[in-house]
Amino acid sequence: MSDSRLEWFLKGSATLWVTGPGARQLVARLQRQGVVVRDVRFTADGVMLRVSVAALRHLMASRRAYGVRFRVVERHGAPFLGRRLVRRKAFAVGAVAFVAILYALSSIVWRVEIVGAEGEDQEAELRQAAAEAGLQVGQWKSHLAPPVELAERMVARAPNYVWVGVEVKGSVAVVRGIPKIPGVPQASQQPCNIVATRPGVILDVQASRGRVMVKPHQLVQPGQVLISGLLTDGGPSVPASGHVFAEVWYTSDVSIPLRVSSQGLTGASVSRDYLAVGGTRLRVWGFQEAPPVVYERDRETDWHVGRWRLPVQWVHATLYEVKPAVWQVDVAAARNEALIMAASDVRSIAGGEMVILGQSILQERLERGTLYATILTRVQQDIGAPAAIPETGGPLKSQGAAQS
């Protein structure tokens, strides 16, 4: 017969208590006949065993021959479970109803979370857009549109958001939104010119509106009109706009010392331990003599009792020996350092976007161990800035370049 436990569960099995003079011989005969017997326990009064429902007929046919009696102790498997459920209809109905209610509750959206909103107004706007798109508390998940379609509906109903994403996790719907960045103020529509803010040589003119008044390689002076808002002499005027890139010069005076002194660790150290009570430290270990010049590094415990920090702490201090060191800087290295310092100085003065075209040392001298240098830095930058159009203007004149 089959020894499958699944088959035993589906067809049923029973635990029997067999008594009588031939109980042991009956078990041996069942095994010889190939009847599967499980959980066999022999006692002085009888035998406890478990057989399938199909094997009960073998016991019925053999009980008189061996003079035994048996009693069903426990029934197992689907047939008996079904009978018990039929007898307990209220329990069965309750179990089925519980599973159905649990499934129904898990199929409903119980919470809508808004992520990314800045302030209550933006959150309310996105929540309203979600409700109008069909995503709200109490909605069946099966009735929801696909997340991509929901997001498109919300973006159309939330004008202050540039992107919306929807994700449903169980009974929680998460709506993530990216608000639009407040728009920059519109450019003034008042007619104006673009004039030079500093002297330089024109490299490139990119005019988006207005009349270009300069050419590449032309020297210009501060205040000179680069892009005119007057389209024609005496004609209509517009707010000129564009970029005018020019080569501008900056001079920087820097000084680099050729002898640099510092302090370095020798590797020798001394350790000490203290008991810190309030602001007082009591040395309890480490009485070696410290070097004359030291660098001290402390490590203090952080003992607490609950949230209260104890007034007594343990401090481990390490005193490292420090030795002064002096080294000589090469003149070529000092020149490179001077160029770097001059470039940094120009970036801080020029401001905005700029490109360094080249650097030249105009003058240098060595005096008392220090290199003094005057450095010229050539940069490319936008020198244009808007300026009002004069009420009465004569012919526009080119002016000579100046050096800052």
Does pLDDT of 305 surpass 70?
yes
- The structure tokens listed for 117 are 């909103």
Do 216 and 362 lie in one domain? The reply is yes
User: CB-based contacts of 301: which residues, under 8 Å, 6+ apart?
Assistant: 313, 314, 315
In a domain, 106, yes or no: no
Largest CA distance in the chain: 138
Q: What is the mean pLDDT of residues 147-153?
A: 87
Does pLDDT of 376 surpass 90?
yes
In a domain, 215, yes or no: yes
CA distance linking residue 118 with residue 254, whole number of Å: 49
In a domain, 98, yes or no: no
In a domain, 320, yes or no: yes
Model confidence over 245-274: pLDDT tens digits?
999 999 999 998 888 777 777 778 888 888
In a domain, 289, yes or no: yes
Do 384 and 265 lie in one domain? The reply is no
Do 248 and 342 lie in one domain? The reply is yes
Do 355 and 290 lie in one domain? The reply is no
Does pLDDT of 1 surpass 50?
no
Model confidence over 308-330: pLDDT tens digits?
888 888 999 888 888 877 778 88
Q: What is the CATH number of the domain that holds 122?
A: 3.10.20.310
Q: Which residue has the higher pLDDT, 227 or 75?
A: 227
Q: What is the CATH number of the domain that holds 48?
A: 3.30.70.260
Kindly list the strands in the beta sheet with 161-169, ordered across the sheet, starting from the edge strand earlier in the chain: 111-115, 172-179, 161-169
In eight-state DSSP terms, residue 45 is S
Tell me the one-letter amino acid at 205: V
In a domain, 19, yes or no: yes
Does pLDDT of 403 surpass 70?
no
pLDDT of amino acid 187: 54
* Phi, psi angle pair for 394, to nearest 5°: -90, -165
Per the structure, the count of domains in the chain is 4
Q: Domain range holding 144?
A: 111-179
Do 61 and 191 lie in one domain? The reply is no
Do 164 and 293 lie in one domain? The reply is no
Last residue of a domain, one of 65, 82, 99: 82
Chain centroid offset of residue 303 CA: 33
Last residue of a domain, one of 37, 63, 82: 82
Q: What is the mean pLDDT of residues 377-390?
A: 91
In a domain, 282, yes or no: yes
In a domain, 91, yes or no: no
Q: Which residue has the higher pLDDT, 102 or 245?
A: 245
Q: What is the DSSP string of 171-207?
A: TEEEEEEEEPPPPPPPPP-S-EEEEESS-EEEEEEEE
Q: Which residue has the higher pLDDT, 26 or 127?
A: 127
CA distance linking residue 350 with residue 169, whole number of Å: 53
Closest C-alpha among 163, 70, 78, 156 to residue 117: 163
**Confidence band, pLDDT 50/70/90 cuts, at residue 92:** low
* Phi, psi angle pair for 403, to nearest 5°: -110, 130
Do 49 and 191 lie in one domain? The reply is no
User: Token match 């857009």: residue?
Assistant: 129
Last residue of a domain, one of 327, 352, 383: 327
Q: What is the mean pLDDT of residues 61-90?
A: 75
CA distance linking residue 307 with residue 115, whole number of Å: 34
Do 248 and 345 lie in one domain? The reply is yes
Q: What is the mean pLDDT of residues 147-163?
A: 86
Does pLDDT of 223 surpass 80?
yes
Do 78 and 160 lie in one domain? The reply is no
Kindly list the strands in the beta sheet with 47-52, ordered across the sheet, starting from the edge strand earlier in the chain: 38-42, 47-52, 13-19, 69-76
Do 280 and 374 lie in one domain? The reply is no
Do 53 and 175 lie in one domain? The reply is no
pLDDT of amino acid 248: 94
Do 279 and 136 lie in one domain? The reply is no
